[in-house]
A and B are shown apart, each in its own frame.
Chain A
Amino acid sequence: MPDAEFKRDLMKQLPSLRAFAISLVGKMDRADDLVQETVMKAWANRTSFTAGTNIRAWLFTILRNEFYTVFRKRRREVEDADGMIAASVGVHPEQDGHMDLADMQDALSRLPVDQREALVLVTASDMSYEEAAAVCGVAVGTIKSRVNRARAKLSELLKVGEAHEFGPDAATQAIIASR
């Protein structure tokens, strides 16, 4: 594959690489560092990419491997201080059911990392279970059960399924009440 073509295809994947990275690490600056490492690794190994195959899955696999390398290193350094803080503080979704990015980031950070990546790949990156299984290097059935568990946990954390989520908001209720 010519360099120019590889470069163009890699550039096209940058937005979704960033979205995947932020979903994994939760912090924009650290996510962009992860994307930068991924770009450098991908470029260095570009000859091992087979033209015509799935470049997104290939890049996501590199990013994921890079994430785990850094994640493990960091975990040894400080016993995941962020994770411990995240686990001890409750999530407070907005009263009107509207949820901002920070709430989702916070909730995602509370999911076990293997469940988090599975859910993001399948639900947000629109990967098939097979693609996600290939990226994570596990069986399709494993991905399916991780996605299910992650979704259940996330709905709990975001309090999806409670009255205020599906019921009319305060303004609508006021209109109904005034009739």
Chain B
Amino acid sequence: MEQFFGGRIIELNRNWLYIKKVDWHLAGNEKMTMTERDTKPPHLKATSKKASAVVNKAVSSKLKAYYDDIAGQQVPDRFIELLDKLDEQSK
């Protein structure tokens, strides 16, 4: 893990760069405990609303494409035959 402004860069695989602040406490016998918390740079906080709108739109269009692909497939004959049969029986 790289040291960065007193914190550690913990995640670079996403668009955002998260920096985890690490507070070191010496607790006898040179044993160390860590407390960590996530921070997000302020300039990213400002754009996160816009970014999530873009992500929402992208997810929705992927799902819509998936759905439309199925809805665009030819309906199996069994359903038409079933409806014909049901219609015939009720006459």
**Chain A residues engaging chain B, CB cutoff 8 angstroms:** 3-4, 7, 10-11, 14-16, 18-19, 22-23, 32, 35-36, 39-40, 43, 99, 101, 104-105, 108, 119-120, 123-125, 151, 154-155, 158, 160-163, 165-166
Q: A11: which of B54, B68, B69, B83 is its contact (CB, 8 Å)?
A: B83
- Residue of A39, A43, A154, A162 near B14 (CB, 8 A) is A162
Please give the distance in Å from B24's CB to the nearest CB on chain A: 32
> Nearest residue in A to B70 (C-beta to C-beta)?
A19
Chain B residues closer than 8 Å to A14, beta-carbon distance: 75, 79
Q: Report Cα–Cα, A22/B62, bound state, in Å.
A: 15
Interface of chain B, main secondary structure: helix
Q: Which A residues touch B69, using CB under 8 A?
A: 101
* CB <8 Å contact, A120 and B59: no
> Is B80 part of the binding interface, using a Cβ–Cβ cutoff of 8 Å?
yes
B63 touches A155 (CB 8 A): no
Q: Which residues of A contact B13 (CB under 8 A)?
A: 162
**Majority secondary structure of chain A interface residues (helix, strand, loop or mixed):** helix
A104-B66, A155-B58, A161-B51 known; A18 vs B75 contact (CB < 8 Å): yes
Q: Hey, what's the 0/1 contact readout for B35-72 against A, CB within 8 Å counting as 1?
A: 00000000000000001001110111011101111111
Query: For residue A104, which residues in chain B have a CB less than 8 angstroms away from its CB?
Result: 62-63, 66
**Does the CB pair A160–B62 fall under 8 Å?**
yes
Inter-subunit contact B73/A18 (CB<8 Å)? yes
- Report if B78 contacts A (CB, 8 A): yes
Measured CB to CB, the nearest residue on chain A to B65 is: A104
Q: Complex formed: what's the CA distance from A151 to B14 in Å?
A: 18
Q: Are A40 and B82 touching (Cβ within 8 A)? A: yes
Name B residues whose Cβ lies closer than 8 Å to a Cβ of A. 13-15, 51, 54-56, 58-60, 62-64, 66-73, 75-76, 78-80, 82-83, 86-87, 90-91
Asked if A151 and B56 sit within 8 Å, CB to CB, the answer is yes
Give chain A residues whose Cβ lies under 8 Å from the Cβ of B62. Answer: 99, 104, 158, 160
Question: Which of A36, A120, A151 is close to B79, meaning CB atoms less than 8 Å apart?
Answer: A36
How far apart sit A16 and B75, CA to CA, in the bound complex (Å)?
10
What residue in chain B is nearest A159 (Cβ atoms)?
A: B14
**Is A165 within 8 A of B58, CB to CB?**
yes
Contact partners of B51 in chain A: CB under 8 A: 161
A22 to B76, CA, bound (A): 14
Whether A10 contacts B83 in the complex (CB less than 8 A), given A125-B67, A161-B51, comes out as yes
CA distance A99 to B66 in the complex (A): 10
**Given A3-B90, A101-B66, A15 and B82 contact (CB-CB distance below 8 Å):** no
Contact of B80 among A11, A18, A19 (CB under 8 A): A11
